[in-house]
Structure formats: C-alpha cells, structure tokens
Structure 1
Amino acid sequence: MEKTYEVEVELDAGAHVEDSKVLAVGAAQIQTLAAADGHSLTDQEVLQGLHVERVTDSNKCRVSKTIQF
C-alpha cells in the first residue's frame, strides 16, 4: 500500500524551488503528517524521492512524497 503526502510551502522573496529551506520545511511537514498516520520517517528517508514543483502564478511550491508501507 502507498500514500502520497503533499504540502505547500511559501517561498521567500527571491527564493527558488531548490532552496534548502523549502526542502527542509516541506520535509518536516511531511514527516509530521506521516507520523500522525503512524509512519516514522527519518530525515534521510523523507528527503529521498521528495518531489518539489512551483505552483503556477503563486509564491508557493508544492512538496510531495509517496511512501510505501
């Protein structure tokens, strides 16, 4: 079985989707959501296969991760 977690992270002025702050914030939010569902992800596990894309016409980006359990 698998589940996809998806969050939106607001970008600071001049920030890029690849910035480490965006990845860190998105990964932390996904870890929290997964933990609420009873799934424990290490920092390394949550960053592996993390997908980040810019939301069109917005200062936000979408961070998602699919996990298998």
Structure 2
Amino acid sequence: MSLEEASRQLEAAIHDARVSFDCILLEELDRAHTNAITARAAVDAAEQAIRVELERRESAEEETTEASEAAD
C-alpha cells in the first residue's frame, strides 16, 4: 500500500460517512449502518497504509544510520 492508497481510502471514508449521515436523516437505518461500516473499513485501511509507510521510513532511516556509522 502507498500513501496514495491511504488518501483514496480516506476519501472513500468521507463519502461513506456522508451517505450514512444522510441515510440517518432519511431514517434509512440499515443503509446508514452499512455505510458506517464501510467508512470504518476505509479508515482502517488508510491507517494500515500509513503505518506501513512509517515503518518503511523508519527502517530506511535505521539502515542509513547504520551505514553511516560503519563508514566511520
């Protein structure tokens, strides 16, 4: 996953949350519930993508530090 994917997932979560909100106003509770669940799933996917990128960057930083120390 990438940060672009995280961004797409968050956009999807925003959309699903808005639909859920509108469905609540229309008293379409089943549809509101479904969209709330899909919004949450999109947020979870975005969070995972961000976590993976953070770990990748931390690993790259550690490798750079280790290489720098080995050169000294």
TM-score, L = length of structure 2: 0.33
Give the number of the structure whose residues are more often strand, by fraction.
1
Structure label with greater radius of gyration: 2
More RCO (CA 8 Å, sep 6+): 1
TM-score, L = length of structure 1: 0.34
